[in-house]
Amino acid sequence: MTLGRTEQLEAFRRMLRIRRFEEEGTRLFKAGKIPAGAFHASIGQEAAIVGACIALRDGDAMTGTHRSHGHPIGKGGELSALMAELMGKATGICKGRGGSMHLADNTVGIISESAIVGGGIPLATGCAMAAKVRRIDQVSLCFFGDGAVNQGTFHESLNMASLWKLPVIYLCENNGYAITTSIARSHGQPDIAKRADAYGMPGVAVDGQDLRAVYEATSAAVARARRGEGPTLIEAKTYRFDEHNVGLFVPGTPYRAPQEVEHYRTQRDPIVLYRKVLLEEGVEEKILISIESEVIASVAAAIAFAESSPMPDPATLYDYMYSTPIGGSQRPAV
Amino acid sequence: MSTALNASPAAATHVRMSYLEALIQAQIEELERDERVILMGEDIAVYGGGKIVDRFDASRIWSMPISETSFTGLGIGAAINGLRPIVDLSIASFMYLASDQIINQASKLRYMTGGQIKVPIVFRCCMYYGASIAAQHSDRPYPLFMNVPGLKILSPSSPADIKGLLKSAVRDDDPVLIFEDTKLWPVKADVPVDPDHLVPIGKADIKRSGNDVTVVAIGGAMRAAMEVADAMAKEGISLELIDPRTLKPLDTETIIRSVAKTGRLVLVENAHRICSVTSEISAIVAEEAFESLKKPIQRLTAPDVHVPFSPSLEQGMYPGKDHITAAIRKIL
């Protein structure tokens, strides 16, 4: 399965949107325009995200992680409400209740961006279970990191998905480090894709810096899920260019060799690599340049929207707690 | 006022059945009424669910492997994606395994997504105690979950209430925990046959009206409180028995109105004492109805100790009729 030209350009555009959104987000965070907290950029991991998302249909469901910005953008989400959420604004996608780690955009099918590592894995599995019960043609794609595969939820959920042949794709964005803890220091057996064998499902490891490789593996997994043949585990070997979160100070000897980081930044940038592929395939450079300009403008517009949006009214503190509000104990405590 | 535990002969609109039978009937009726309702749990057929398992196919009844954390999460994901799961957690002590998904996902996702999603899910949490199964199977953990925003928590004590509250829970769009006191399973009383018999979430029930002392009892503690009320009535002492039925949100109005009438309050439950429902009710009454009180509030609970295996150690640790009677006499 290969992408048509329109989808190729859309994939390029979405990767760039993630990159630009996060570069600008990082700048705004450092400038104090995004509330103090944790800002986790997925810069460097764009192909692993978009290569998977581009294999999905609009109606397919997704769950993600604390490194959440890329997922809604990769799935095709609008930037304005996402940027407003980063700033804690009333117009944010989560009305200022979620923030950087939880950019769940349900308009593009995301049901959760879980900052509890591994917490979204059962949710995506249950989402697929509902699709099966409801007999709807929908798959669920579950993003998680290399740290999450050591959580019990990973093992329990893969077992159930395999048992019932649920239409779910488990996509591990393996960036090599759970904060500072490397695979070598935390995994008894370092090949994450191999863990699929234990649960009777295909396990595929791909170059997560190569959008085509991620797309092809995900496409095959999606097709298998739609045929009712069950789940697939995909390990996209990728790399985050920045620190675990912006501003994190890690004392002592660097856990990543500076040469290693430099190598990925200069030789293995997924956007640079894919741009080269597109040019080699005959895409005119001026088309790519126009996409680049368009993305810069879109992010600038999103920032303008977010900056001009109001902060949430404190009187709305209790809104969205319940579908059917309970009153009573929901009175001001101070 | 709903049906009392020792009900009068059944009218045509009611059938006499046990708490467990009412619980099973409520689930069958909801599964039949709404195809989005599914039941998930371990060994469902064993603990009274045989009739349900026989009636529905595998797409409605999901027999779970022993993975409490994740099948709880599966239920939450399924709820977000259009189903209305009833997740049977078998034994309330197993909730600790499921609690990350209940607290970090089910209770928070609607809020954290700014209302983009809803999580219509019911958790059945059966509390076994007084049964010599020791500390890891005997917990009554509802107070822990009352401290979590975003949940609704029920503790029905009569067959009619379990039927009506379970149905309300299934039809509610938020996560609901139902704490069933297994001591009540065999208790029989009249239950409305109406398949739309709903008991509203958040409304207490005055099980006995009285003027001298207000007794609020939770779950299985209501049985002992009723026997005390009957015995003391013969002495001319009139107790007002209140079953909150819903622990979150608590119907504090009903309790405060009663205390305003009696001026005396005894609180009874079988959970551990620290930060319990009775702690919460005591605090609310002290804050909002202090002037109504003629005597100090009396709290009767299990002590701050684990449930032991040996019957000789366990049998005295929950408040019984004698404890309740003594507490009442102390403030009369």
Which residues in chain B touch residue A122, judged by CB atoms under 8 angstroms apart?
69-74, 76-77, 101
Shortest CB distance from A130 goes to which of B64, B65, B78?
B78
pLDDT at A199: 97
Give Cβ neighbours of residue B235 (< 8 Å, ≥ 6 apart). none
Do the Cβ atoms of B70 and A156 come within 8 Å? yes
Res. B4: pLDDT tops 70? no
- For testing contact with chain A, the best of B74, B146, B254, B287 (most A CBs within 10 A): B74
Q: pLDDT of B187-203, one tens digit each?
A: 999 999 999 999 999 99
Domain B205-331 sits in CATH at 3.40.50.920
Domain ranges of chain B: 18-192, 205-331
Residues A45/A175, Cβ–Cβ less than 8 Å: yes
Confidence check: pLDDT of B53 > 70:
yes
Q: Please give the pLDDT value at position B1.
A: 44
Secondary structure of A83-140 in HEC code, one letter for each residue: HHHHCCCCCCCCCCCCCHHHCCCHHHCEEEEECCCCCHHHHHHHHHHHHHHCCCCCCE
Predicted structure pTM score: 0.96
Q: How confident is the model at residue B304 (pLDDT cuts 50, 70, 90)?
A: very high
- Closest Cα in chain B to A139: B81
Does A291 lie at the interface with B, CB-CB under 8 angstroms? no
Helix (H) or strand (E) holding B261: helix B252-262
Question: Pick from A105, A83, A37: which is nearest to A306 by CA?
Answer: A83
Contact of B172 with chain A, judged by CB distance below 8 Å, is answered with yes
How many A/B residue pairs have CB atoms within 8 Å? Answer: 172
Chain A CB within 8 Å of residue B71 CB: yes
Query: What's the average model confidence in pLDDT over B4-28?
Result: 81
Q: What integer best gives the mean pLDDT of chain B?
A: 95
- CB-CB contact of A231 with A161 (8 Å): yes
B259-279: average pLDDT: 98
Classify A159 as helix, strand or coil: helix
Residue B172 has pLDDT above 70, yes or no: yes
Between CA B73 and CA A123 the distance in angstroms is 5
CB-nearest partner of A92 from B114, B117, B249: B114
Contact B122, B170 (CB under 8 A): yes
Interface test with A, best of B34, B37, B61, B81 (most A CBs within 10 A): B81
B38: which chain A residues are within 8 Å (Cβ-Cβ)?
A: 133
Nearest chain B Cα to A312, which residue? B114
**CB contact (8 A) between residue A131 and residue B252:** no
On whether any CB of chain B is under 8 Å from the CB of A132, the answer is: yes
Q: Is A119 on the interface with B (CB under 8 A)?
A: yes
Q: Which residues does B95 contact at the CB level (< 8 Å), separation at least 6?
A: B89, B102, B123, B125, B139, B141, B145
> Which tokens belong to A6?
């329109």
ipTM of the prediction: 0.96
Whole-angstrom Cα distance, residue B200 to residue A257? 61
pLDDT at B3: 46
Q: Which fold has domain B18-192?
A: Rossmann fold (3.40.50)
d(CA B285, CA B281): 6
At A282 the pLDDT is: 97
Q: Is B46 helix (H, G, I), strand (E, B) or coil?
A: helix
Position of tokens 């109005």? B253
If pLDDT is split at 50, 70 and 90, which confidence band does B5 have? low
Chain B positions touching A142 (Cβ under 8 A) are none
More confident residue, B143 or A1: B143
| Interface contact A91, partner B, CB < 8 A | no
Contacts of A126 in chain B (CB under 8 A): 73-81
**Closest-CA residue in chain B for A132?**
B59
For B231-247, the pLDDT digits (tens) are: 999 999 999 999 999 99
**Is B70 within 8 Å of A121 when comparing Cβ atoms?**
yes
- Report whether pLDDT(B9) > 60: no
> What are the pLDDT digits (tens) for B56-78?
999 999 999 999 999 999 999 99
SS3 content of chain A, % helix, strand, coil (to 5): 45, 10, 45
List the pLDDT tens digit at each of the 334 positions of chain A: 789 999 999 999 999 999 999 999 999 999 999 997 899 999 999 999 999 999 999 999 999 999 999 999 999 999 999 999 999 999 999 999 999 999 999 999 999 999 999 999 999 999 999 999 999 999 999 999 999 999 999 999 999 999 999 999 999 999 999 999 999 999 999 999 999 999 999 999 999 999 999 999 999 999 999 999 999 999 999 999 999 999 899 999 999 999 999 999 999 999 999 999 999 999 999 999 999 999 999 999 999 999 999 999 999 999 999 998 887 555 666 5
Which residues of B carry out catalysis?
Answer: 137
Q: What is the CATH number of domain A5-241+264-316?
A: 3.40.50.970
Band the pLDDT of B46: cuts 50, 70, 90. confident
Tokens 């954290």, residue?
B112
Across B38-43, average pLDDT:
95
* Contact criterion met (CB < 8 Å) for A102 and B113: yes
Question: Which chain A residues in 199-228 lie under 8 Å from chain B, judged by CB atoms?
Answer: none
Q: Return d(Cα B60, Cα A16) in angstroms, integer.
A: 44
Inter-chain CB proximity B78 and A106 less than 8 Å: no
Same fold, B18-192 and B205-331: yes
